[in-house]
Amino acid sequence: MPIHILSTLFTISTEREEKIHEIHCKYATKPETRFICNDSVEDRVHRRQFLTSFVLIWTIVRSKNLSYFKFLFCFTMSIMRVVAITGCDSGLGWALAARSAREGLVTVAGMYNGVDTKAAESLRRLCAHPCSLDVTNPDSVAGFRDYVQSLLNDNPNYKLHAIVNNAGVMTIGDYEWQTQTMIENTIHVNLMGTMRVVSAFLPDLRRSALENAVPSVPRIINVASHCGLQPLPGFAAYSASKAGVLGLTKALRLEHRKHGLGVVAFVPGGFVTSSNIIVHQGASGNAMLEKLNDEQKSFYGKRITTLTNYLQSASSHNTRYDSLKDENIIETFVKALTSESPKALYKVESWRYMFYYNLFKLPLPEGVTSWLIKKFLNFPEN
């Protein structure tokens, strides 16, 4: 294709995206008019659509290369792909939803704290669709799926592209310290919540994959953790939940490979100091102390207090929903979200994570591995 024609096509398509995005933003906050377009703007959009199609068809006829059909289809359909993300109230989830919306994808953001928060409003300004979601509640998950389905039904050119299971909780502390509520909540949110959302959307994603409506593979992206790859002391329930997520992801990928559905594990690496995931650690530490009997308090009390104070100081500045700024994490997620044929695993690792986790894989004496893990965690001494 001649360079000047390709440049023209990109310019026209970009202007078209901006107009449609403008319309989408204008009505996104008004459910009753969300999908109604201003006539004059719509006419201009249609003219640009016609001109784009004419230029491409003329080029294809001249070059006799039908592969350009796929190029235009992929380029123009990008703004019509629908992505549903869980756990978008703050930290990683908010950052993923914000970036997805900025990429031009129709983004539905599941919000545990509801849709009237500053985090929800900021996503709404990016033309995302905040939607209340508690992944531990089957009715809430069903409502989330219905909201996404209503977008698809009201807009025939929208296609379900991905669900991103990001909702997660983490309580740090030895298994014996943690209350039964803490342990069960970790499993219910991180593992069972992921399973509930997968169960709700899997038939829709499978059909989308079989229809082959868009060139890129529809996908499930499950946010996992290095703790699922190598269990760590103080993270027993969390490690178990994330190991379960990794196992679920691998099995689903094998089951649906023949259907053309991608299933991806996304391991974002360490970002505790730039998120709110341990913002409740202080209250959790107090609950742990209250749960222990006198013998346990005598044995563990000082350790719990020291660790709680340390973790509180590490998370005290993370009060904003948009505290995660790590571009490496976000760019890796974009690859998992937009790659035409996504890999099974996308992993973000600092040199420190890479160094230690490669050492953990070696057949070292258990005492040496335990010492390495202690150095890696770098928790304060009693």
Number of Cβ within a 10 Å radius of residue 341: 10
Please check whether residue 321 is in contact with residue 90, taking contact to mean a CB–CB distance below 8 angstroms: yes
* pLDDT for the residue 308: 94
The mean pLDDT value for 105-120 works out to: 97
Terminal Cα distance for the chain, rounded: 68
pTM above 0.85, yes or no: no
Residue with tokens 């009753």: 32
Q: Return d(Cα 351, Cα 22) in angstroms, integer.
A: 42
Q: Return d(Cα 240, Cα 134) in angstroms, integer.
A: 21
pLDDT band for position 20 (50/70/90)? very low
Strands 262-267 and 129-132: unpaired
| 238 assigned to active site | yes
Q: Is the predicted pLDDT of residue 74 greater than 50, yes or no?
A: no
Both tokens assigned to 158: 């929208």
Order the strands of the 345-347 sheet from edge to edge. 129-132, 106-111, 81-85, 159-165, 219-223, 262-267, 345-347
* pLDDT for the residue 370: 96
* pLDDT for the residue 274: 63
pLDDT band for position 321 (50/70/90)? confident
- pLDDT, one tens digit per residue, over 75-110 is 444 448 999 999 999 999 999 999 999 999 999 999
Both tokens assigned to 73: 């289809």
Residue with tokens 């973790």: 311
Both tokens assigned to 333: 């997620």
Q: Which helix (H) or strand (E) holds 242?
A: helix 236-256
* pLDDT for the residue 381: 81
Q: What angle do CA 346, 149, 27 make, to 5 degrees?
A: 95
Q: Is the predicted pLDDT of residue 9 greater than 90, yes or no?
A: no
- pLDDT, one tens digit per residue, over 353-377 is 999 999 999 999 999 999 999 999 9
* pLDDT for the residue 7: 44
DSSP string, 96-130: HHHHHHHTT-EEEEEETT-SSSHHHHHHHHTT-EE
Strands 129-132 and 106-111: parallel
DSSP string, 136-173: T-HHHHHHHHHHHHHHHHH-TT-EEEEEEE-------S
Task: Choose, from 238, 321, 346, 356, the residue flagged as catalytic.
Answer: 238
